[in-house]
Chain A
């Protein structure tokens, strides 16, 4: 009997609570614009993936702290949903599908690496939700006629264009002692690096320099000695290396071991990052790299101020200095912010059109896209001098003169 009474009372209590809560005035949920992204938080791209997550979340906080985004007089907060794609393209694609169909995000932010961006962008195109990515530079992303994918990294094929132009100017200028005639290209088998190498080979010939050879190696390889022996045999003046940071580090160490003394070595990634320079110590000096962004560059925007101010905000939040990956990630989000304001709407097609016609200055520089969706801006050539990276070309943004030729290993 007592048990029945107890159960009855319990039902009464639960029932009345349910009734009361349903009568309570509906809480006014603030309007939120949802952004979704899958980045590599584990697996081989974990290091770079973190830069994107940190960038996206820094922007989210900045926007929300500043009152959100105004659309048609109404203020919206932003929310960035981030999943871990484990550096796996297939998994990443599934996660983007989930973001669109289950999480019902308004817009998409990109993953890291061309190999992962290629399948992910297909999801954006399929559901006609704009995606802006800052982690994939391969032309393959933008050569399919897609309308809903935009990228803030300069085209992979042009990564070394300014570097080669710089070498050309040195060679064909009146001062003949700095001639560069022979160039060797080394690249990994990834989609991005293949695109960089093909482009570089084209530019070497276009600028009148001689290509001694193009060598491909498997991504993540633990030994590049045979490549270096071949290079020693061909004796180029300059070596262009298109590989991810791990490969660049290995290449430099093994080049030193094998006493390969090129007058200049340039890398697509690594040189601009602090951990790269710290790992190499003095061996990093004279290395040339490319980057679309450095904190010291003369860029300025509404939301984060100058590039240097952005870098400080980032460092204060996360304890490390941002490199161009993080800046590119934030640029993606800033593009959406400006495009939504320009469109005055959250309609995907209207925002997409606003992005395509956008031309705005930000801490990342000018954000303006070419017809195929890739950003119009180019790479700056940087060189490590005394442990710090400085832009050396083009002239308008150079802060130091290129040190060429690099002294041989035993003279450093």
Chain B
């Protein structure tokens, strides 16, 4: 019976991981930029919702739209005016740049808001459904549902809308897309903006579940990286599958083997994936 609770916890955690990873996976798959500042963007989303709740009493779920928009704009500007300069350079250069951005954003946040712990705590924050011995916290369930909605929304956006198709075209062949009249630079900026907005939404939810500090992002960049890779880079449902898989592995592994093995399990799966199927669970094999 406790097993069942662990599985539920794992799925909910997985949903959270998926939510975190969608943004990074999108940017990585389309622009080939591994955004090492992803965690910092999540952190900014968490603070956005926190301050809106603390100062203006805006409910965290309502603030999701604001968080998305704020990070969307931020991401757009960062890509257009900073990352764009090195977009065609070797991957190492973009890694270096986003790494530097991560340090910059983290330290600016620390100077502005101090490292004191914060938490977004609406009245319902730790409440949940109870079925006998099983509990399902509201906020985690909502984050799970939101991540599924966002993945499907992204799917429809990329497959059915013209802008979405432009993004996919650019991810397949930059020069051919340009020949077709697509503004590549603007598409890249848009992709980064969407990815950042999604990170913001993830951060907003995380801020209700976990303590908020300027340094919180590091582990999320790492986990998002693993989820994106394991799920399948460049695929839309990859982060969802990868996130759920990893969430379950982590909680089941912690419960049966001991929590101290949690990290070993997560990174063990990463290594195994790279060896056995480098393109990830849903990834298509390269020709």
Which A positions have Cβ atoms within 8 angstroms of B?
42-44, 46-47, 50, 189, 215-218, 220-227, 229-230, 232-233, 245-246, 249-250, 253, 256-259, 275-276, 279-281, 283, 409
Contact = CB atoms under 8 A, between A and B. Distances in A.
Given A46-B110, A216-B260, A225 B9 contact: yes
B140 interface: yes
Contact of B259 (A42, A218, A249): A218
A223 B117 contact: no
Contacts of B263: 218, 221
Contact of B121 (A47, A218, A246, A279): A279
B255 A229 contact: yes
Interface residues of B, number: 41
Contacts of A409: 126
Contacts of A189: 260
Contacts of A249: 117, 119, 210-211
Nearest to A186: B259
B115 interface: yes
Contacts of A47: 114-117, 213
B41 interface: no
A186 to B, nearest CB: 8
A222 B259 contact: no
Contacts of A276: 117
Contacts of A253: 119, 125-126, 209-211
Contacts of A275: 116-118
B140 A257 contact: yes
Interface in B97-132: 107, 110, 114-119, 121, 125-126, 128, 130
Interface string B254-269: 1100111011000000
A216 B260 CA distance: 5
A319 to B, nearest CB: 10
Top 7 nearest A-B pairs (CB, nearest first) are: A47-B115, A226-B254, A256-B126, A275-B116, A217-B259, A225-B9, A249-B211
Interface of A is mostly: helix
B57 interface: no
A109 B150 CA distance: 51
Pick the most buried of B5, B215, B251, B259: most chain A CB atoms within 10 A of its CB: B259
Given A226-B255, A250-B211, A257-B140, A42 B119 contact: no
B223 interface: yes
A279 B118 contact: yes
Given A246-B117, A249-B211, A250-B210, A258 B135 contact: yes
A233 B115 contact: no
Given A222-B219, A225-B251, A229-B6, A215 B211 contact: no
Contacts of A46: 110, 115, 214-215
B121 A227 contact: no
A275 B135 CA distance: 29
A280 B121 contact: yes
Nearest to A189: B260
Contacts of B262: 217-218, 221, 223, 226
Nearest to B135: A259
A230 B9 CA distance: 13
B119 A279 contact: yes
B251 A226 contact: yes
B121 A281 contact: yes
